[in-house]
């Protein structure tokens, strides 16, 4: 299987205070669609009160040109109602649901307990099956949490097994607050892949600008084939303790994979256009 890169403008934009005009969002994502990424995490169907920046996701979607791209679209949802809204759109392939192994964070993020969140996953997965969509579950707080909630690799494995039993085929380990260490990644990631061989495991890492490479290298050498990134490292979790903790920068991942002689099949001229245009998006 070749490397799959998910570009995450949604994650990059969601925490910005000043509203980005819909036309600028759409123009930016249209450029990203031409680069050749496997997937674009483009928006979310969540409460406008919770994430004001993404209240125009439906309007952005209407402006996207899907006629000349092989990229798939992913939308984040936080409950069944959001999933119902998302599955109405033919252009969307993946629905992404953040399932935290920290109950404190699950309550903060989706206002649900872990049993309630798992029930949501069950119902949303059934909806995806009947609607021709794929559910991607993020195991957020996958490398620890700051809330003193119990965390260990056994808990990750237990929840993963429950998700796999539901028929979930796509799971991403998410380092929500940027605390993962290379040794953790090298231990946790291959173990899950070995125990659940029918599941595609991706990785969604956050990092400071000077700590990204050991994490990416650990994931790559552990056999990871699906990476979530954001151009210039924008975004990240609003709860991160360090303002410099953002997404892994797409250009850094591309450079690393090229150094490993990976053939990525990306249009790098369009990527440079998107890099240039990002100045209009992230002022």
- What is the maximum alpha-carbon separation in the chain? 48
**Dist. CA 63–CA 89, nearest whole Å:** 13
Q: State how beta strands 206-207 and 246-247 pair.
A: antiparallel
- What is the tens place of the pLDDT at every residue in 200-215? 999 999 988 889 999 9
Hunting for tokens 């990203």 — which residue is that? 32
Phi, psi of 177 (to 5 degrees): -115, 15
- The dihedral region occupied by 261, where left means phi > 0, alpha psi between -120 and 50, and beta the remainder, is left
Predicted confidence at residue 240, as pLDDT, reads 46
Residue ranges of E strands in 123-194: 134-140, 170-174
Where are the domains positioned within the chain? 4-281
| Global confidence as pTM | 0.95
- What is the tens place of the pLDDT at every residue in 7-51? 999 999 998 989 999 999 999 999 999 999 999 999 999 999 989
Give Cα separations from 261 to 2, 258, 275 (angstroms). Answer: 12, 5, 23
- What is the tens place of the pLDDT at every residue in 117-131? 999 999 999 999 999
For the domain with range 4-281, which CATH number is right: 2.30.30.280, 3.30.70.330, 3.20.20.70, 3.30.460.80? 3.20.20.70
């Amino acid at each position: 299987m070749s490397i799959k890169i998910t570009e995450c403008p949604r994650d990059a934009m969601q925490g910005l205070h000043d509203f980005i005009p819909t036309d600028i969002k759409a123009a930016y994502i249209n450029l990203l669609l031409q680069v050749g990424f496997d997937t674009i995490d483009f928006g979310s169907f969540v409460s406008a009160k919770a994430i004001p920046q993404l209240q125009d996701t439906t309007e952005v979607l209407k402006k996207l040109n899907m006629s000349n791209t092989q990229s798939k679209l992913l939308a984040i949802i936080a409950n069944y109602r959001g999933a119902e809204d998302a599955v109405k759109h033919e252009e969307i392939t993946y629905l992404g649901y953040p399932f935290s192994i920290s109950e404190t964070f699950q309550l903060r993020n989706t206002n649900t307990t872990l049993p309630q969140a798992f029930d949501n996953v069950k119902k949303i997965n059934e909806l995806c099956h009947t609607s021709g969509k794929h559910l991607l579950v993020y195991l957020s707080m996958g490398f620890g949490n700051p809330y003193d909630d119990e965390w260990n690799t056994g808990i990750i494995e237990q929840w993963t097994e429950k998700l796999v039993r539901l028929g979930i085929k796509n799971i991403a380990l998410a380092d929500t607050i940027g605390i993962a260490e290379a040794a953790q990644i090298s231990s946790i990631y291959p173990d899950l892949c070995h125990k659940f061989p029918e599941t595609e495991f991706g990785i969604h890492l956050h990092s400071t600008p000077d700590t990204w490479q050991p994490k990416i290298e650990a994931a790559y050498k552990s056999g990871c084939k699906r990476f979530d990134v954001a151009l210039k490292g924008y975004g990240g979790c609003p709860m991160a303790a360090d303002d410099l903790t953002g997404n892994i920068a797409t250009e850094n991942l591309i450079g690393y994979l090229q150094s490993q002689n990976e053939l990525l099949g990306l249009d790098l001229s369009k990527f440079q256009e998107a890099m240039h245009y990002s100045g209009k998006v992230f002022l």
